[in-house]
Amino acid sequence: MLLSPGLHRIGNDIVAAHLIATDEGITLIDAGLPGHYADLRRELAVMGRPATDIRGIVLTHGDSDHIGFAERLRRELGVPVHIGAADADRAKGAKPPATPRGPMRIRPMAGFLAYAARKGAVRIPPLNEVRPVADGDVLDLPGAPRIIGMPGHSPGSIAVHVPSVRAVFVGDELTTRHVLTGVTGPQPAPFTDDQARSSASLESLRGLDVEWVLPGHGAPWRSGVDALIAAYRSAEARAR
Ligand SMILES: [Zn+2]
């Protein structure tokens, strides 16, 4: 689905991935679940672009619901896959640490699990090869994505700022729809390794002039970064 010129989304508020399209080609931000490959092909068809236009994938982190079809594109089309250095092992199949079990509600949780199963979450191929990126890097990919280190959700979590589409992709450093409770609005994301660190990382977004804040789970946020952080802080306070 087209969000704005050059900015596309596949998936939905349960799990989303994004495309940046320019005359130079296409950059993917995250790769959803394996079954989102079909959604990607459909989106490309609507855009009238071949899959060979995809120049690279940038993964916001190494969790399984973000690496979905990345290995497939790497293997079949030689698409390079970029990820924060500290998450490289996780994308290659290392098990993430167990995180404390937060709040959940049956219906949204069952909805998430059913959707994930339908999209192939049962078997997610790990990456065989990744290119590590670091805070401050500007990648030589369509849209010139700039990497913002955001450790917390995982050690190698990053946000990706793409000025040409006035967007920042925040992965699971925050969510606007908690997959386990269905509660909407900016808030801490579940399955976070280090919540205090994640919360502190959010300040790295401060001052970004963007129209779109795009999390891996939940609706796009359109009200700017300062309002986002304020809403997150209130949610955080409510949870205490
Ligand atoms: Zn996720």
Please name the residues in contact with 225: beta carbons below 8 A apart, sequence gap of 6 or more: 168, 205, 206, 207, 208, 210, 213
β 167-171/158-162 pair status: antiparallel
pLDDT value for 181: 92
Which residue has 């795009």 as its token pair?
Answer: 214
Amino acid at 238: R
Say how many Å lie between the CA of residue 221 and the centre of ligand 1: 17
pLDDT in tens, 34-53: 999 999 999 999 999 999 99
Residues with CB under 5 A from ligand 1 (ion): 63, 65, 172, 216
Nearest Cα neighbor of 183 from 112, 126, 134, 95 is 112
Contact 71, 97 (CB under 8 A): no
Say how many Å lie between the CA of residue 171 and the centre of ligand 1: 7
pLDDT in tens, 160-182: 999 999 999 999 999 999 999 99
Say how many Å lie between the CA of residue 15 and the centre of ligand 1: 7
Tell me the C-alpha distance between 83 and 130, whole Å. 7
Nearest Cα neighbor of 206 from 183, 229, 222 is 229
3-state secondary structure of 10: strand
Say how many Å lie between the CA of residue 216 and the centre of ligand 1: 6
Say how many Å lie between the CA of residue 65 and the centre of ligand 1: 5
pTM: 0.96
List the alpha helices (DSSP H) in the chain: 36-47, 64-67, 70-77, 88-91, 106-118, 195-201, 225-239
pLDDT value for 235: 96
* Tokens of residue 196, six digits: 């205090």
3-state secondary structure of 77: helix
pLDDT value for 1: 96
pLDDT value for 69: 98
pLDDT value for 122: 83
Which regions of the chain are under pLDDT 70? none
pLDDT value for 47: 97
Say how many Å lie between the CA of residue 231 and the centre of ligand 1: 20
Say how many Å lie between the CA of residue 60 and the centre of ligand 1: 9
Domain holding 161, by residue range, is 2-95+102-239
Going from the C-alpha of 159 to that of each of 80, 110, 194, the distances in angstroms are 18, 28, 16
CATH code, 122: 3.60.15.10
Tell me the C-alpha distance between 43 and 51, whole Å. 10
For the chain, what is the domain count? 1
Going from the C-alpha of 162 to that of each of 119, 187, 213, the distances in angstroms are 27, 23, 11
Contact 145, 58 (CB under 8 A): yes
pLDDT value for 104: 87
3-state secondary structure of 72: helix
Say how many Å lie between the CA of residue 81 and the centre of ligand 1: 17
